[in-house]
Amino acid sequence: MHLTFFLLLLTPPSLAEPIASPLASPFPLSSVSLTSGLLPANQNRTVAYLLDVAPDRLLYNFRLNHKLSTLGAAPNGGWDAPSFPFRTHMQGHFLTAWAQCHVALGLAECRTRAENFVAALAKCQANNAAAGFAAGYLSGFPESDFDLLDRRQLKSGNVPYYAVHKTMAGLLDVWRLLGSAAARDVLRGMAGWVEARTGRLSSAQMQAVLGTEFGGMGDVLAELAQVDAPNRARWLAVARRFDHAAVMDPLAAGRDALSGLHANTQVPKWIGAARVYVVTAEDYWRLGTPYYTGEDRYRAVAVNAWEATVHHHTYAMGGNSQAEHFRARDAISGFLSKDTAEACNTYNMLKLTRDLWTLSTNTTAPGGTEHFDYYELALLNHLIPAQNPASAHGHITYFTPLNPGGRRGVGPAWGGGTWSTDYDSFWCCQGTQIETNTKLMDSIYFYQESNGALLWVHLFVPSVVRWEARGIVVRQTTAFPAGDGTELVVEKAGTTAFRIKVRIPAWAVGAEVSVNGGPASGVKSGTYAEFGMEWKDGDRISVKLPRRLRLVAANDKPGVAAVAYGPVVLSGKYGDTALTAMPGLALGSIKATQKPLEFTAQADGKTVTLGPFHEAHGHNYNVYWAVSGQLS
């Protein structure tokens, strides 16, 4: 081996030069507009809540804890009540959602709310000496909770790093998305506090601390390392302290030891692993080499965790977990209850999914669609309909019940039992859903600059993407999920040649594409169809994605299955009728009606209407059936 080449690989590269990433990148939210369809309505309802909620109420616990006046504001209920152990976990979600709202929609009031909130948090943090807290600390509960945590004396159910992570993630978004130096400074203070706090523990003590849910601490610190160049090495080192060996080691070795673990405690650790991997790889991309010298352990953790979760712990509608926990590998049929599919887990799985797909887009990109097939399924059937369309403030359900005769917004009492409210819920899932519903455009398109310009089209959503650096504008028109295909018009072809790759989902049967009305050609499902390179304004790609009924059997019991039409999970409409057992469905009896996505079938000897699960609101539904016969 030539000596310089050898040194190139082993010498830590110098920092702070721009990164020529070999990977695909997401567009900024401001580059993609949603034009119609299901998503804008969700977005509008959440934005109405973001602009209505009273900031002083959200600041109550912070101000009280940091010994400032609460300005006469009323305290909140639910998980933000002054007596709730990890209160102030919600506020970071609001910061992210306000920042996303401003970037996505240009609403100045969202920016003002985010900036004012950060200014109020900065005052709390600045009062730490008077409040008796260490420099940088910021939360709605006393710092002594962390002393108890470090000594393993904290009451079970209290998760202080979980809440602190949320505030840090919100501040990071206000810095990144709105350019707020104030948010950056408060965040640096908090990160310095985490560095000092964790730096005095032995690695065995730290591992013990990691036995308590800590959210995405590894994730937020790795992301902070990416954007905070002067402190990159510091924050990356602190991120690595959140490598929880008991969970990561089996996954790194390819073992699924998830059974019995609290699900949403784990997923953020995997996102953190993927992001620490990227930060370590970036140092080599700066040298202009696509050769991956990121740490393979972290990539293996993230990849293996995704495989295990998506293929062995996920219900037909894309959600996972029962009573918030992973059950045995492939155990599905025995866990169809009111408390299935916690929304947070899917919010986090979708983050992990886009990160892992991105990591697969190097020069040897495999080109399969399984990442975005899952993304589409879970977004459409789980997260979009987790919001109540009858709520002007976009209130959400914590679980998506999968018991026979389940109903959205009717969960077990311990999980809220109902839809969220303005001030008396503040559940974890309410927080993640205000984020989801203000970034609905973030994964429709990606772009890539290595090997020539490339526009990726993952999701079928009526929208416009503007690739500003290249002067390219592409409009997508589709009736999906009601219709079966999409059309892309290159409204502005820009100044350079570029390719377009469109996902042809695995569920598509006999997919066809054509350009400018020319002859249709068949394309393989489960791959990306590629088009390019020379475009003129007005060029048009038509994609036909025919669907058929599919059976999604429980992994552990072939006789228990859900029915889907392409990516659209179907559910039986039972009105207010309670079901005491899983109905038997005669598969051969399913017939399409005149309405798109509506079918009828015989279940338990009676005719039942099957409709799209994403529209199953305000009635009892059934998703999993005891099936007999065959789909015709």
Nearer to ligand NAG, 254 or 417 (CB): 254
Contact 170, 89 (CB under 8 A): no
Is 593 among the residues that bind ligand NAG (CB under 6 A)?
no
Please report how close the Cβ of residue 463 comes to ligand NAG at its closest, in angstroms: 13
CA distance 91 to 56: 11
Please report how close the Cβ of residue 562 comes to ligand NAG at its closest, in angstroms: 29
Nearer to ligand NAG, 259 or 293 (CB): 293
Query: Which two tokens mark 294?
Result: 């990121």
Q: SS3 for 528?
A: strand
User: Which of these, 556, 564, 465, lies nearest to 506 by C-alpha position?
Assistant: 564
Nearer to ligand NAG, 42 or 96 (CB): 42
Please report how close the Cβ of residue 21 comes to ligand NAG at its closest, in angstroms: 12
Is 33 among the residues that bind ligand NAG (CB under 6 A)?
no
The CA-atom distances, in angstroms, between 376 and each of 432, 508, 553, 597, 627 are 18, 13, 19, 17, 25
Nearer to ligand NAG, 40 or 318 (CB): 40
Q: DSSP character for 379? A: I
User: Candidates 206-214, 266-274, 359-367, 614-622 — which segment interacts with ligand NAG by CB under 6 A?
Assistant: 359-367
Contact 520, 546 (CB under 8 A): no
Is 360 among the residues that bind ligand NAG (CB under 6 A)?
yes
CA–centroid distance for 67 within its chain: 35
From the list 362, 388, 425, 478, which residue makes contact with ligand NAG (rule: CB under 6 A)? 362
From the list 44, 112, 144, 628, which residue makes contact with ligand NAG (rule: CB under 6 A)? 44
User: Candidates 203-211, 361-369, 485-493, 572-580 — which segment interacts with ligand NAG by CB under 6 A?
Assistant: 361-369
Helix axes 181-199, 160-178, angle to 10 degrees: 150
Interface mask toward ligand NAG for 241-280; x: CB under 6 A: ----------------------------------------
User: Candidates 147-155, 354-362, 404-412, 557-565 — which segment interacts with ligand NAG by CB under 6 A?
Assistant: 354-362
Please report how close the Cβ of residue 495 comes to ligand NAG at its closest, in angstroms: 29
Q: Tell me, by CB under 6 A, how many residues bind ligand NAG.
A: 11
User: Candidates 3-11, 38-46, 131-139, 433-441 — which segment interacts with ligand NAG by CB under 6 A?
Assistant: 38-46
- Residue 269 CB contacts under 8 Å (≥ 6 apart), including other chains: 216, 218, 242, 244, 247, 248, 301
Nearer to ligand NAG, 290 or 546 (CB): 290
Please report how close the Cβ of residue 362 comes to ligand NAG at its closest, in angstroms: 4
Query: Which two tokens mark 110?
Result: 């969202």
Nearer to ligand NAG, 44 or 593 (CB): 44
Contact 286, 226 (CB under 8 A): no
Interface mask toward ligand NAG for 283-312; x: CB under 6 A: -------xxx--------------------
Please report how close the Cβ of residue 290 comes to ligand NAG at its closest, in angstroms: 5
Contact 404, 582 (CB under 8 A): yes
CA distance 235 to 217: 11
Is 363 among the residues that bind ligand NAG (CB under 6 A)?
yes
Nearer to ligand NAG, 101 or 610 (CB): 101
Please report how close the Cβ of residue 292 comes to ligand NAG at its closest, in angstroms: 4
The CA-atom distances, in angstroms, between 232 and each of 79, 227, 275 are 34, 8, 13
Is 359 among the residues that bind ligand NAG (CB under 6 A)?
yes
Please report how close the Cβ of residue 38 comes to ligand NAG at its closest, in angstroms: 9
From the list 41, 182, 410, 626, which residue makes contact with ligand NAG (rule: CB under 6 A)? 41
From the list 69, 202, 364, 607, which residue makes contact with ligand NAG (rule: CB under 6 A)? 364
CA distance 126 to 128: 6
CA distance 584 to 55: 50
Residues between 535 and 574 with contacts to ligand NAG, criterion CB under 6 A: none
Nearest 5°: phi and psi at 443?
Answer: -125, 10
Termini Cα distance of the chain: 62
Q: DSSP character for 229? A: G
Query: Which two tokens mark 624?
Result: 């999993």
Q: Are strands 599-603 and 606-612 parallel, antiparallel or unpaired?
A: antiparallel
CA distance 240 to 218: 7
The CA-atom distances, in angstroms, between 615 and each of 32, 593, 621 are 25, 16, 10
Question: Interface residues with ligand NAG (CB under 6 A)?
Answer: 40-41, 44, 290-292, 359-360, 362-364
